[in-house]
Amino acid sequence: MNTRNNSNRSGKGADKRKPNLRQNRKKGPTRSQKPEKPDDGLIRLNKFIADSGVCSRREADRLIETGAIKVNGKVVTQVGTKVSPTDKVQYDGETLNREKPQYVLLNKPKGYITTMDDPRDRKTVVELIKRACKERVYPVGRLDRNTTGVLLFTNDGELAKRLSHPKYNVHKVYQVTLDQALTKSDMNKIADGLTLEDGPVKVDAIAYAEDSSDKRVIGIELHSGKNRIVRRIFESLEYKIVKLDRVSFAGLTKKEVPRGKWRHLTEKEISMLKMRGNV
């Protein structure tokens, strides 16, 4: 295979014909931060709020400063306040539960929408992971109804916010099947960067699938979080996507997870995600 911007590495978990993509990853920002030490079982109020899945720690600080948080019936406005796990913490009149953080990876099948519930009573991804844990977990980002592959769920609000934020350059790898062969000229156009209706878009790597003479099967890696970005890239060059499968998200793959099934992340994977998001 002789393509632009490729190498011998590819996203794990792809099907037999794996895209051969250059792993051109930029390191995210780092910071030195000592782990928070327990103090007689007390934890910071912003962490309690983040662990409940409401928002990130930074956003929790803003809620505290604006007087939106009550502890045991009293408004607390002091950032840095510590609470006991048994204290009653309320936001907007609702009592928050500091749940055990859960991280679930789903290999999403076609025909399910990425939402917690649907007024039109269509099939949702939540139906597929309802037995994964007793805690209520939420999808990180979205895959449209006809897109398959890696979808992460968690109740870790802080991590979810960071993995969704463009500045952390969370990489995704997709395997795309087109309605016609992708020309080398069009592949080069995509590699060089396109301008769509909502502005310029750059991909990190693009290549024909390995072990296949079928030029309709493409691997593409990018970190853009724009809506339907992969479909719009190819549609702008008058290609129609027949199949779209996300084989990797933030280093997570669907390897050994059958379509429609889920698994819990390992401690190693959780640590890796937190390092990527500097949580």
How confident is the model at residue 6, as a pLDDT? Answer: 44
Look at residue 248 and tell me whether its pLDDT is greater than 70. yes
The Cα 260–Cα 110 span in angstroms is 9
Q: Are residues 167 and 267 in the same domain?
A: yes
Are residues 197 and 149 part of one domain?
A: yes
* Whether residue 165 is found in the same domain as residue 232: yes
In angstroms, what CA-CA distances link 230 with 82, 145, 245? Answer: 44, 14, 11
- Distance in angstroms (rounded) separating the CA atoms of residues 77 and 113: 39
Catalytic residue among 15, 117, 118, 144: 144
144 as an active site residue: the answer is: yes
Same domain, 174 and 225: yes
153 shares its domain with 172 = yes
Helix, strand, coil percentages in the chain from 3-state DSSP, rounded to 5: 20, 25, 55
Q: Does a structural domain hold residue 31? A: no
Say if 191 falls within a structural domain: yes
Reference 30, options 169, 204, 226, 222; nearest CA is 169
The answer to whether position 38 is within a domain reads no
| pLDDT surpassing 70 at residue 9 | no
Average pLDDT, the chain: 86
Domain annotation covers residue 181: yes
Instruction: Give the model's confidence band at 279: pLDDT under 50 very low, under 70 low, under 90 confident, else very high.
Output: low
Residues 253 and 149 in one domain: yes
Beta-ladder partners of 19: 209
Judge whether 229 and 222 are in contact, CB under 8 Å.
yes
Q: How far apart are CA 12 and CA 133, in angstroms?
A: 26
The answer to whether position 49 is within a domain reads yes
- What amino acid is encoded at 259 in this protein? R
Tally the domains of the chain. 2
CATH number at residue 197: 3.30.2350.10
Residue 223 lies in a domain: yes
Shared domain check, 197 and 167: yes
Model confidence pLDDT, tens digit, residues 10-55? 444 444 555 556 544 444 444 444 554 444 678 999 989 988 878 8
Inside any domain, residue 110? yes
Structure token digits, residue 214: 């079928």
pLDDT tier at 72 (50, 70, 90 boundaries)?
Answer: very high
Query: Does pLDDT of 230 surpass 60?
Result: yes
- Domain range for 269 is 1-23+99-279
